[in-house]
Structure 1
Amino acid sequence: MTSASRAGWAAVLATAIASAAFVATGIFVVRGLTDLKNASDVINVTGSARRSITSDLAVWTFTVRSESEDSLQAAYAQFRAAQPALDRFVRGQNFSAEELRREPVSAAPETYTVIETIGGENEEVERTRYVVSQAYRAQSGDIAKIQTAVGAATASFVDASTGGVTVESGAISYLYTKLADVRLALLKDASQDAQRRAQAIAESAGNEVGAVKNARMGVFQITPRFETSVEDSGSYDTRSLEKDVTAVVEIDFVVR
């Protein structure tokens, strides 16, 4: 084989290799575009559902507190003197043993700071007072009973608690004990809402909605009735007797 023939044969071989590489690359590109097309045939929609609920459990906490600047013994004596009035109040509310819980009595010195004028200058002075307290927790499915007890404590027992004894009353917390069942039902309703929205969008383009590719559950919002504000991390209202529970889901559907 002459030198010219060998050069010609090498050129043909190089062209063939290049052509094969181009074909292979072309096949790869086409397959990539096909996969990309399939991956893009997805519609992302958000569905939501809301249900109104009425709280079925009320929780109220209050603390009886006695304090004295003199000694812990003096504070405890004041605390004991107020017990008859407290016992009458508790009996009057007809709480069962399951509805009312008394925490152990606590007694301890407490340091605080006051501003006093010394030598014509205002200075911070540290003082000590002695505190005896007992916390109570009342809870009942009888919402009206708890509401009545709060009113009675404000109207009678607080007025009767004199001589350094006070009652610190917390706000009523309104809870719903069947929330787990409501959440499951709302997730189902929200998913169906998402599917209806996806179908409406797909049909407008002449397509159909297929299987679910991905699904993500959003946070639950438990808000006062008719309130529209939401929190990114979810909310759980305990101030309102009447509430709305809202569930949100985000779903990717395959489009055919």
Structure 2
Amino acid sequence: MDKTKIVVTAIIGLVVVIGAWFIASGFKNFREGQPVISVTGMAEKEITSDLIVWKITVNAEGSTRSSAFTEFEKSARVMSKYLQTHGIPEKEITLSSVDISKRTKDFWDEDSRKYVTLEDGFSVSQTFTVSSNDLKRVEGVYQRISELYNSGMDFSSEKPLYYYTKLNDLKMEMLNQASANAYERAQTIAKGSDSKVGSVVSSTMGVFQIVGLNSDEEYSWGGTFNTSSKEKVASITVKTTYRVK
């Protein structure tokens, strides 16, 4: 019986000692922690847009639905011919559906002492969207389109929008550059503290955005994608944490 008590007591004592060692070791590791370096790498690149999108809306009016549509057809033919004559092929022009709507006008009725709404004919409109990789050619036509106002046509021309279509390739290239930049920064920090950069703990892509070259656009945490400038600057950030040797 005494021997049993001695064995049990010894086992309990051993367990307590081992447990105390693990706890002490755990607190030590927790207190010391694993030294790491966290840095943000960045890459920038100037790019030139390779796609231009230009919208022109042709309008027409008439006292009746048919007269408004007839007038619109004349203007639409003139616009289509003008664009193609100036070097924009039909395949680069997309037409929206034709919109026909009633026009109204309001006037003050003295007898009833209130505004009265009356029908005032019909209006018809359609948008021509030019999408082309030949930016210079489309820009030239855009700058001369006002010539058509002399013909009595009713239309509106929007400013062209500029896009870069190889964004996926660009993003991959810049991610590589930003990651390399992050590593260089980590090495600089480690060298200053007489350490070496170890393996990557974590790495996440930050903001990818495009702003106009030499513009006063502000960078946004949510990302900015400029479409008003032909020349742009793309930037991307990468947040990376490394172990320290």
- Asked if these proteins are the same fold (TM beyond 0.5), I'd say yes
Equivalence for 2:219:
230
Q: Distance in 2 between matches of 1:97 and 1:108?
A: 24
SS at match of 1:46: strand
- Whether 1:137 and 2:129 are equivalent positions in the alignment is yes
Query: Could you tell me how far 1:132 is from its partner in structure 2?
Result: 1.6
Q: Distance in 1 between matches of 2:115 and 2:31?
A: 74
- Whether 1:218 and 2:206 are equivalent positions in the alignment is yes
Report the residue type matching 1:204 in the other structure. G
SS at match of 1:117: strand
| Contact 2:205–2:239 (8 Å) recurs in 1 | yes
Report the residue type matching 1:190 in the other structure. A
- Whether 1:117 and 2:108 are equivalent positions in the alignment is yes
Q: Distance in 1 between matches of 2:49 and 2:229?
A: 8
Q: 1:29 to 1:243 in 2, by over 3 A?
A: same
Determine which of 61, 74, 82 is the counterpart of 2:67: 74
**So what's the TM-score if we normalise by structure 1?**
0.80
Determine which of 22, 32, 35 is the counterpart of 1:37: 32
The alignment's C-alpha RMSD in Å is 3.0
Q: Distance in 2 between matches of 1:20 and 1:130?
A: 94
- Whether 1:90 and 2:83 are equivalent positions in the alignment is yes
Query: Could you tell me how far 1:123 is from its partner in structure 2?
Result: 4.1
Determine which of 218, 223, 235 is the counterpart of 1:246: 235
SS at match of 1:207: coil
Deviations 1:36-66 (A, max 9, x none): 634x411111000000011122111111111
Query: Could you tell me how far 1:118 is from its partner in structure 2?
Result: 3.5
Q: Distance in 2 between matches of 1:122 and 1:141?
A: 55
Q: Distance in 1 between matches of 2:199 and 2:91?
A: 50
Q: Distance in 2 between matches of 1:42 and 1:19?
A: 36
Determine which of 166, 169, 175 is the counterpart of 1:187: 175
Equivalence for 2:95:
102
Q: 1:115 to 1:19 in 2, by over 3 A?
A: farther
Equivalence for 2:185:
197
Q: 1:17 to 1:115 in 2, by over 3 A?
A: farther
**So what's the TM-score if we normalise by structure 2?**
0.83
Q: 1:129 to 1:19 in 2, by over 3 A?
A: farther
Q: Distance in 1 between matches of 2:56 and 2:14?
A: 87
- How many residue pairs align between the two structures? 240
- Whether 1:159 and 2:150 are equivalent positions in the alignment is yes
- Whether 1:147 and 2:144 are equivalent positions in the alignment is no
Structure 1 residue ranges, 4+ long, deviating more than 6 angstroms after superposition = none
Contiguous gaps of at least 5 residues in structure 1? 1-8
